[in-house]
A and B are shown apart, each in its own frame.
Chain A
C-alpha cells in the first residue's frame, strides 16, 4: 500500500505485528492497541520505534501516558462517511502527540485537506488516483475559518489574518 508523506510516496519501514505475534527485538514495530496496552511498559524498553493501530472507537485519553514514547499512530476510516478518526486525530494532537499520524482505509483525495488540518501527516493511499491528484486535492482551499488546527500545508487562518494587526482592525470599514 503506497504511503504518502509530504506530497511524495515513501517506503514504509514499519514492521506490522499482529495481536499475538512475536515482537522483533529491533526495528520499528506497529502493534494493535490491545497488544500495546497489554505489554506496556515492557515494550517501552526495547530498541526501535513504537507505533500503534487504533480503532476509531478507541478513546485517545487511554494512551495519554504512552504518547511521548510513540512515533506512529495509525487511525482507520472504515467508510468515507465515518468521520470519527478526525476527532481522534485532533484530540491526540491536542494531547501533545508529536509523532507520525497516519490515515488508512477509505481515504479519498477530497478528504486529505481535512485530514491534514486535524493533524494527519501520512496517508495509506490506493493506486486508484495519481499522486498529482492527491497533491492538488490537498491544496484546493487556501483558507480556513477555524483556528488552532494542525497544519502541515499553509492554509491561512481567516480570523487570525483579520485580527493580527490591531490597528488594521480598528480601521476596517464598518457597514451599516
Chain B
C-alpha cells in the first residue's frame, strides 16, 4: 500500500500546523464561527449533538496494522474508547474536543493519516472497492488512481469552495462494489478489444433528498486524460452548480436541470478550451504510486486447503462463518476475510480500541499487514491463506468479532442517527438493533440469504437507504420518530433507487414490518433467487399487500 514520501509527510504536517493556528484563533475569538466553520469542516471536524465529531480519512478504505493501532490509541486517549467505521470507508470519533483536535491530527500524521477534506464543500475521500487488489473479478486495482486523485484533490485551490460536497468513487471490477453510479463522479475501469484499459466517467449520481443514478459522459477515457477531464467537470460544477438552496446544490441537480446533453456539451467545451500540457509528469506519478500497490508475495498454494476443509468439518460454527464471510480471491489458496462489525443487537460499524488492535494484529500476521474498510461498515482482511482461516476465526470469536452474518439480514448498515448526529430526524441504531435481534437466528438468516438493509436517520441518507434492497428512512412526524420503508434499491452496476412502499411505521413496528417483507420474499422466491431478483420480478405489490393488508 502507499507510503508517504518526504513531500506527503511535509504536506500533512503543514496542514496540521495550519489547523492548529486556525483553532487557536477561533478559541481566542479572532475568527467567528461562520469564518471558522468551513475551515474546520475541511479538516473533518463536525459539531454534533453531544460533542465534536472527527471524521478521519481512510483513503480508498485501505490501512495498515500500524495505522489501525493508532486509531485505537486515538480512541482511548481523546475519545471514549471506540470508533465508528462509515459507509464511505472512513472512521468517526464521536466525543472530540476542539482543543484536542490539532494534537489528534499530529498523531494521525505520525502514521501517514489525516482528516483532510472529510467534510466541507470540497472533494471528499475517494472511495473504492473494498476488495480491490484481491477480488477474483477485478480487471485492475483501482487504488493507484485512487491515490493519484487523493493527491490531486487535496487542498485544490480552485475546488475548495464548491456549491456542496463532492464525492468520487473508483472501481476496477465489473461487479461494482464501490457504488460508482450513485456518486457525484464515478469512475469505472473497462478493457477494450485491444486490451487497453480506459475509464467510464459517470456524473451526477447521488443519494440524499433527491436520489439519482449518474449518467455516463465518457465511455472510455484514456488514463492520461483523467485529471484534465475531471478538472473540466469540476469547473463546470463550481461555476454553474446552484448556491441558492443547500438541498439543490449537488452536481446531480445541475445535470438534471440543464439536461444530460447540455451538461456533456458544457464539460466537453470546457475540456477542449483548456490548455493541454504534457501529462508525462502525471503518468510518471501514477507509475510511481502503482509500484506501491504491486501484489504482495503470494505463496504458490493449491486451491484446496486440507487444513481449512478439516476445520470446517469439525467446527460447524466455523464452517458457517466460512460460508458467509469469505470472498473469492484471485489467487489460489487465498481468501478474502470479511469481519462483521454487526454483532447481534450491537451498534453497526462500531469497534472498541481493543477490537481495533486485535484486527490490526490479525492483519499483520495473516494478511500482509493490510486491512480495508467496506461500505457496509465492516473490516476486510484482503489476502489470507486458507490454511490460516481457522486460527483467525478463533481469534475473532474471542474478540466478539465473529458474527457470521456478512451480507445477510444481520449485516445492517446504519448511520449514527439521532443518538449522535445533529442533522438527524430520528434514531437509526435502535432500529438496527431491533432488526438484528429479530433475525438473530442463524438458520433464518441463511435461509433469507444475501440482503442489504440500510437505515438512515434523516433525508441526508448517510446510511445509503436509497440503495438498500430494503431501505429505512427515519423521519419526524409531529415530534415522534417515524420510519418509511423503501424496497428494491441497489448500488451495484445495475443501480436503482428504492421505491417507497407505503405509509410509515413507528419505531417499535419496524422490525415486524421487515419480517413481513422477508417472509413475503421467502414465500414467492424462485429457487436460487435473491431478494432483489424477486422484487424486480414481482414488483412492490405482494409486499404492499402483505404489509398493509387489513386484518
- On whether A and B touch (CB less than 8 Å), the answer reads yes
Q: Mark A residues whose CB is within 8 Å of B.
A: 61, 80-84, 86-88, 90-91, 94, 108, 110-111, 113-115, 117-118, 129, 140-149, 156, 158-163, 169, 172, 174-176
How far is B3's CA from A80's CA once the two chains are assembled, in angstroms?
Answer: 35
Contact, CB under 8 Å: B11 / A108 = no
Given contacts A145-B154, A149-B157, 5 further A-B pairs with CB under 8 A are A86-B159, A108-B35, A145-B151, A163-B280, A176-B296
Knowing A94-B275, A174-B292, the reply to whether A140 touches B157 (Cβ < 8 A) is no
Contact, CB under 8 Å: B14 / A142 = yes
How far is B296's CA from A161's CA once the two chains are assembled, in angstroms?
Answer: 28
Contact, CB under 8 Å: A80 / B35 = yes
Residues of A within 8 A of B8 (CB): 158
Chain A residue, CB-CB nearest to B236: A87
Chain B residue, CB-CB nearest to A85: B161
| Those of B144-160 within 8 Å (CB) of chain A | 151-152, 154-160
Contact, CB under 8 Å: B155 / A144 = yes
Contact, CB under 8 Å: B160 / A114 = yes
Contact, CB under 8 Å: B22 / A86 = no
Knowing A84-B238, A145-B151, the reply to whether A160 touches B281 (Cβ < 8 A) is yes
User: Could you name 7 residue pairs across A and B whose Cβ atoms are closer than 8 Å?
Assistant: A81-B121, A84-B239, A114-B157, A143-B10, A146-B152, A159-B281, A163-B280
CB within 8 A of B285: which of A108, A159, A175?
A159
> From residue B142, how far is it (CB to closest CB) to chain A in Å?
18
How far is B156's CA from A141's CA once the two chains are assembled, in angstroms?
Answer: 12
Question: Is B38 an interface residue, CB under 8 A from the partner?
Answer: yes
How far is B282's CA from A162's CA once the two chains are assembled, in angstroms?
Answer: 10
Knowing A140-B21, A159-B281, the reply to whether A90 touches B158 (Cβ < 8 A) is yes
Question: Is B196 an interface residue, CB under 8 A from the partner?
Answer: no
> From residue B165, how far is it (CB to closest CB) to chain A in Å?
12
Q: Mark B residues whose CB is within 8 Å of A.
A: 3, 5, 7-8, 10-11, 14-15, 17-18, 21-22, 30, 34-35, 38-39, 121, 151-152, 154-162, 235, 238-239, 243, 273-275, 277, 280-282, 284-285, 288, 291-292, 294, 296-297
Chain B residues touching A, majority SS: helix
Residues of A within 8 A of B159 (CB): 83, 86
Residues of A within 8 A of B296 (CB): 176
Chain A residue, CB-CB nearest to B17: A140
How far is B238's CA from A129's CA once the two chains are assembled, in angstroms?
Answer: 28
How far is B22's CA from A159's CA once the two chains are assembled, in angstroms?
Answer: 27
Contact, CB under 8 Å: B288 / A143 = no
Q: Which of B21, B157, B159 lies at the interface centre, i.e. has the most chain A CB atoms within 10 A of its CB?
A: B157
Contact, CB under 8 Å: B152 / A145 = yes
> From residue A63, how far is it (CB to closest CB) to chain B in Å?
14
Knowing A83-B162, A83-B238, A175-B3, the reply to whether A147 touches B281 (Cβ < 8 A) is yes
Chain A residue, CB-CB nearest to B14: A141
> From residue A171, how far is it (CB to closest CB) to chain B in Å?
11
Residues of A within 8 A of B34 (CB): 80
Contact, CB under 8 Å: B281 / A117 = no
> From residue B240, how far is it (CB to closest CB) to chain A in Å?
9
Knowing A108-B35, A162-B288, the reply to whether A86 touches B14 (Cβ < 8 A) is no
> From residue B285, how far is it (CB to closest CB) to chain A in Å?
5
Chain A residue, CB-CB nearest to B5: A162
Contact, CB under 8 Å: B7 / A161 = yes
Contact, CB under 8 Å: B291 / A87 = no
CB within 8 A of A145: which of B21, B155, B291, B292?
B155
Q: Which of A61, A87, A94, A144 lies at the interface centre, i.e. has the most chain B CB atoms within 10 A of its CB?
A: A87
Contact, CB under 8 Å: A175 / B238 = no
Residues of A within 8 A of B274 (CB): 94
Contact, CB under 8 Å: B235 / A80 = no
CB within 8 A of B158: which of A87, A129, A145?
A87
Residues of B within 8 A of A83 (CB): 121, 158-162, 238
CB within 8 A of A86: which of B121, B155, B157, B288?
B157
How far is B3's CA from A175's CA once the two chains are assembled, in angstroms?
Answer: 8
How far is B348's CA from A145's CA once the two chains are assembled, in angstroms?
Answer: 36
> From residue B405, how far is it (CB to closest CB) to chain A in Å?
34
Chain A residue, CB-CB nearest to B36: A110
Contact, CB under 8 Å: A61 / B243 = no
How far is B17's CA from A142's CA once the two chains are assembled, in angstroms?
Answer: 12
Knowing A83-B238, A148-B277, the reply to whether A172 touches B288 (Cβ < 8 A) is yes
Residues of A within 8 A of B21 (CB): 140
Contact, CB under 8 Å: B282 / A159 = yes
Residues of B within 8 A of A113 (CB): 157
> From residue B290, how far is it (CB to closest CB) to chain A in Å?
9
Contact, CB under 8 Å: A148 / B275 = yes
CB within 8 A of B22: which of A110, A141, A176?
A110
Contact, CB under 8 Å: B7 / A86 = no
Contact, CB under 8 Å: B235 / A174 = no
Contact, CB under 8 Å: A61 / B273 = yes
Contact, CB under 8 Å: A118 / B158 = yes
Residues of B within 8 A of A156 (CB): 7
Chain B residue, CB-CB nearest to A115: B157
How far is B282's CA from A149's CA once the two chains are assembled, in angstroms?
Answer: 15
Contact, CB under 8 Å: A169 / B284 = yes
Q: Which of B15, B161, B243, B275 lies at the interface centre, i.e. has the most chain A CB atoms within 10 A of its CB?
A: B161
Contact, CB under 8 Å: B158 / A86 = yes
Chain B residue, CB-CB nearest to A83: B161
Contact, CB under 8 Å: A87 / B238 = yes
Contact, CB under 8 Å: A88 / B239 = yes
How far is B291's CA from A117's CA once the two chains are assembled, in angstroms?
Answer: 30
Residues of B within 8 A of A148 (CB): 275, 277
Chain A residue, CB-CB nearest to B2: A175
Q: Which of B7, B151, B292 lies at the interface centre, i.e. has the most chain A CB atoms within 10 A of its CB?
A: B7
Chain B residue, CB-CB nearest to A172: B288
> From residue A66, how far is it (CB to closest CB) to chain B in Å?
17
How far is B4's CA from A143's CA once the two chains are assembled, in angstroms?
Answer: 14
Chain A residue, CB-CB nearest to B234: A87
How far is B156's CA from A144's CA once the two chains are assembled, in angstroms?
Answer: 8
Residues of A within 8 A of B7 (CB): 143, 156, 158, 161-162
How far is B161's CA from A80's CA once the two chains are assembled, in angstroms?
Answer: 8
> From residue B305, how far is it (CB to closest CB) to chain A in Å?
24
